[in-house]
């Protein structure tokens, strides 16, 4: 497998590589006639520039790296779709890797990508990550980086998130308006802002409507289905009587609870109402359909990617500490 190089073209045409290089990039120094000639032979010889050499010379690549906890989660898959689409249009390639919710692996992946000299980084934290210092260190070193969805509280850098607090507030208020009294919360990790903000929204909605905040109705756990399963069981143990509604930190968690409730022979929403977070398409198809807070996943990916590209190409034009907040919308279905 032989790749034609600048030198090959130059030799064939009897000109120098400099000329060929310049002709190819449309440099004004080159005579239109020779430029056309070069372009033509380049096409004929199926020339494709060697990216290694270009990157080595320019000291940068056109590749961005993405690290997500798990690709198989619909939410992240959809975000990935947004990212790859934007990157594709801008002529960038996308490295992907998953941390599998493991902090160690997150760090290693991060290192590997930096070692590969990616032009920029897009990350969403694993649920076992308790600090953003590893990210902030990179930002310090000048690596363009934007965090999306899962961030640490008070992260110093640019991030794209949704209005978790408001979403949670709306959801809880909705349950209150519906007349539910014992509203429980299966909460996420408090080291991540999504966990913390959603919890805060839940609590404040209660307090604002004059209800007490009852810690026995809250269980802190993870973000996946098995966490919902475990969380619900824990809730049964720790609470003196059954809740009549549960607001869950994510849809997977809600689904974990969902199955428990059904297995217990209880009716949704008559016995227990349920609201999730993130609008997994699965929620619309189950019976009864799951109420949820919609986050625009694809758009998150798009915005994060666009912001990163800005950060790479026009670093001066961008506020280095901003957090872009996208809107959430409450979707009421039969489960509440």
Partner DNA sequence: ACTCTTTCTGGGAACGTTTGCGGGAACGTT
Partner DNA sequence: AACGTTCCCGCAAACGTTCCCAGAAAGAGT
**Residues 18, 75: Cα–Cα separation, whole Å:** 48
Binds 32: which of a copy of itself, DNA, none (CB < 5-8 Å by kind): DNA
Residue of 33, 287, 316, 319 interacting with a copy of itself (CB under 8 A): 287
Q: What is the footprint of DNA within residues 22-41 (CB under 7 A)?
A: 22, 24-25, 28-35
Q: Radius of gyration over alpha carbons of the chain, in Å?
A: 26
Binds 70: which of a copy of itself, DNA, none (CB < 5-8 Å by kind): a copy of itself
Half-sphere exposure of 42 (CA within 13 A, CB side): 21
For residue 180, give Cα distances in angstroms to 244, 277, 336: 6, 18, 9
Q: Are 182 and 217 in contact (CB under 8 A)?
A: yes
Structure tokens at 333: 């279905």
Residue of 90, 114, 200, 242 interacting with a copy of itself (CB under 8 A): 114
Least distance from a copy of itself to the Cβ atom of residue 80, Å: 5
Q: Examine residue 241 and tell whether it contacts a copy of itself (CB under 8 A).
A: no
In the chain the beta strands, taken as DSSP E runs, fall at: 63-68, 93-98, 120-123, 145-148, 158-162, 183-187, 218-220, 245-248, 273-275, 292-294, 323-326, 329-331
Those residues whose C-beta lies under 8 Å from the C-beta of residue 58, and which sit 6 or more positions away, are: none
Stretch that binds a copy of itself, among 66-74, 128-136, 156-164, 270-278 (CB under 8 A): 66-74
From residue 70 to residue 99, the character string flagging contacts with a copy of itself as x (rule: CB under 8 A) and all else as - is xxxxx--xx-xx--xx--x----xxxxxx-
From residue 259 to residue 278, the character string flagging contacts with a copy of itself as x (rule: CB under 8 A) and all else as - is x-------------------
Chain residues in the site for DNA (CB under 7 A): 3, 5-7, 14-19, 21-22, 24-25, 28-35, 47, 49-50, 52-54, 56-59
């Amino acid at each position: 497998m032989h790749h034609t190089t600048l030198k090959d073209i130059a030799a064939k045409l009897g000109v120098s590589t400099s000329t060929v290089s310049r002709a190819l990039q449309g440099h004004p120094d080159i005579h239109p006639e020779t430029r056309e000639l070069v372009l033509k032979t380049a096409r004929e010889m199926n020339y494709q520039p060697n990216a290694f050499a270009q990157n080595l010379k320019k000291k940068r690549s056109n590749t961005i790296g993405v690290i997500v906890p798990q690709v198989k989660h619909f939410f992240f898959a959809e975000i990935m779709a947004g990212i790859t689409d934007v990157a594709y249009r801008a002529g960038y390639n996308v490295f992907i890797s998953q941390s599998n919710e493991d902090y160690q692996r997150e760090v290693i992946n991060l290192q590997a990508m930096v070692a590969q000299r990616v032009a920029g980084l897009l990350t969403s934290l694993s649920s076992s990550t308790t600090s953003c210092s590893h990210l902030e260190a990179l930002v310090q070193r000048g690596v363009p980086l934007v965090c999306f969805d899962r961030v640490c509280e008070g992260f110093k850098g640019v991030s794209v998130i949704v209005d978790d607090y408001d979403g949670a507030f709306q959801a809880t208020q909705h349950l209150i308006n519906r007349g539910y009294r014992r509203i429980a919360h299966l909460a996420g990790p408090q080291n991540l802002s999504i966990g913390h903000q959603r919890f805060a929204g839940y609590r404040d909605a209660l307090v604002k409507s004059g209800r007490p905040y009852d810690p026995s109705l809250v269980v802190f756990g993870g973000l996946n289905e098995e966490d919902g399963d475990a969380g619900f069981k824990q809730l049964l143990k720790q609470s003196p009587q059954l809740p009549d509604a549960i607001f869950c930190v994510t849809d997977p968690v809600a689904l974990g609870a969902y199955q428990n409730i059904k297995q217990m022979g209880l009716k949704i929403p008559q016995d227990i109402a349920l609201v999730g977070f993130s609008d997994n398409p699965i929620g619309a198809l189950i019976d009864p359909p799951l109420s949820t807070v919609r986050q625009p996943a694809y758009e998150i990916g798009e915005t994060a990617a666009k912001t990163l590209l800005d950060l790479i190409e026009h670093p001066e034009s961008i506020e280095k500490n901003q957090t872009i907040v996208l809107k959430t919308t409450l979707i009421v279905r039969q489960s509440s």
